[in-house]
Structure 1
Amino acid sequence: MNFQKLIDKGLKLKSYSEDSVIYEPGMQPRYVYFIKSGEVRMVTVSDEGKEFIQGVFKTGQYFGEPALLIDRPYLAFTIANKDSQVIAVNKEDFFELIKNEPDFSMELIRTLSTRLFYKSMMLEELASEKADHRLLTIINYLLGDIAVGENLKVTRQELADMTGLRVETVIRSTKILAEKGLIKTIKGKIVKV
């Protein structure tokens, strides 16, 4: 995404410090948020305060568009994982972008399709009671986005939050998966082979 085009349109760049809430469940959508720098997580929070990560959005990505497109309240929190700069694009400007930028429209369709696939995959996995299988599925999914030889850049806590498992279970299951040769670890880091 060409952020300069958005800034040239007069859209403001807003800074969020780490752990700042951008929006929360129940709020009416007014913007789609484009990340110029930083990282944002989308989470639901249980009554006990446990987070379940629905997605992590990084520099160059955007979030908040499904609720805006169908005019329904947000269902989750979005929280800055680290200091981030975000451009909030209102509904009118977002629809203009879809209408006038065919490449962006195709990218939006791919993005929404990828998220739908991820949600379907995770629903199927959450129905399974096997922690190892659930963890292996999310690891393989995340490895698909990185190059061979790179480390998976998620923490054990994030893996736990993505799978609904406890950190201790993630640690134990990671060791089991590595011992079985289903994943490769180097110095405790999961590596794509």
Structure 2
Amino acid sequence: MTVNYLLANGFKVHDYAKGEVIYPPDAAPRAVYFIKSGKVKMVTVNAEGQEFIQGIFKANDYFGEPALILNKPYLAYTIAMQDCEIIPVYRDTFFKFLDENTVFSRKLIQNLSERLFYKSMMLEELANEQAEHRIRTLLNYLFKDLDKDAELKVTRQQLADMAGLRVETVIRTIKKLAAQAELKLVRGKLIKV
């Protein structure tokens, strides 16, 4: 199931403004959300109000399927990081499509496995108290699918939120990694070496 397939089959696009909550934690799952344009972040917020980014989704990605498949409440906020066009695919339609399309079903399993791997990796990293190790592992993971000299399109604050660190710590660590030639910094942008 792709955005083009959904558009060609008459699914409706919903607009979300930057900063708008698509669904909050504890809401009952109703749909899987396919992104036509924009970016969405999935975050948990601790008692002090600090965000921890669980994931960032962009055009042609989808989110919300674990809660829908398990019929469990959502665990995190999903928030539009910029103006977004999103196509919700509601429960019955989504399950019917899974039953009828083994290629998409396999792709869904792969996607869920990649997310599980990422969360397991980050859980292990959060247990490691060395900030440099956390940042290095996170950057290696985020760079893995990029070509050499490609820009990593995340902010320092997003990296801090993903790693459970302060942004100042991330900035210092990135400068150190750049000095060690583990990445390049070009006008503040993180570039894969």
TM-score range, shorter chain: over 0.9
State the distance in 2 between where 1:192 and 1:157 align: 19
- In the other structure, the counterpart of 1:24 is 24
State the distance in 2 between where 1:32 and 1:172 align: 38
- In the other structure, the counterpart of 1:104 is 104
State the distance in 2 between where 1:160 and 1:22 align: 23
State the distance in 2 between where 1:179 and 1:32 align: 42
Residues 125-136 of structure 1: matches in 2 within 5 Å?
Answer: 125-136=125-136
How far 1:8 sits from its partner (Å)?
A: 4.7
- Whether 1:52 and 2:52 are equivalent positions in the alignment is yes
Greater shift in the superposed pair: 75-84 or 4-13: 4-13
Q: Which secondary structure state, in structure 2, belongs to the residue aligned with residue 18 of structure 1?
A: coil
- In the other structure, the counterpart of 1:77 is 77
Greater shift in the superposed pair: 42-51 or 72-81: 42-51
- In the other structure, the counterpart of 1:160 is 160
Misfit runs of 4+, over 6 Å: none
Q: Which secondary structure state, in structure 2, belongs to the residue aligned with residue 173 of structure 1?
A: helix
Q: TM-score, normalised by structure 2?
A: 0.95
- Whether 1:88 and 2:88 are equivalent positions in the alignment is yes
State the distance in 2 between where 1:9 and 1:151 align: 35
How far 1:189 sits from its partner (Å)?
A: 1.9
Q: Which secondary structure state, in structure 2, belongs to the residue aligned with residue 121 of structure 1?
A: helix
Task: Number of aligned residue pairs: give it.
Answer: 193
How far 1:7 sits from its partner (Å)?
A: 3.6
Alpha-carbon deviations, 1:28-50, whole Å to 9, x = none?
10100011111100000112211
- In the other structure, the counterpart of 2:14 is 14
State the distance in 1 between where 2:64 and 2:2 align: 18
How far 1:6 sits from its partner (Å)?
A: 2.2
How far 1:165 sits from its partner (Å)?
A: 0.6
State the distance in 2 between where 1:54 and 1:134 align: 15
- In the other structure, the counterpart of 1:148 is 148
State the distance in 1 between where 2:112 and 2:94 align: 15
- In the other structure, the counterpart of 2:41 is 41
Percent identical across equivalent pairs? 55
State the distance in 2 between where 1:92 and 1:124 align: 36
Extract unaligned runs of 5+ from structure 1.
none
State the distance in 2 between where 1:5 and 1:188 align: 38
Q: Which secondary structure state, in structure 2, belongs to the residue aligned with residue 82 of structure 1?
A: coil
In structure 1, what residue type is equivalent to 2:34? F
Extract unaligned runs of 5+ from structure 2.
none
Superposition RMSD in Å: 1.3
How far 1:9 sits from its partner (Å)?
A: 4.2
Q: TM-score, normalised by structure 1?
A: 0.95
State the distance in 1 between where 2:79 and 2:39 align: 9
How far 1:5 sits from its partner (Å)?
A: 3.1
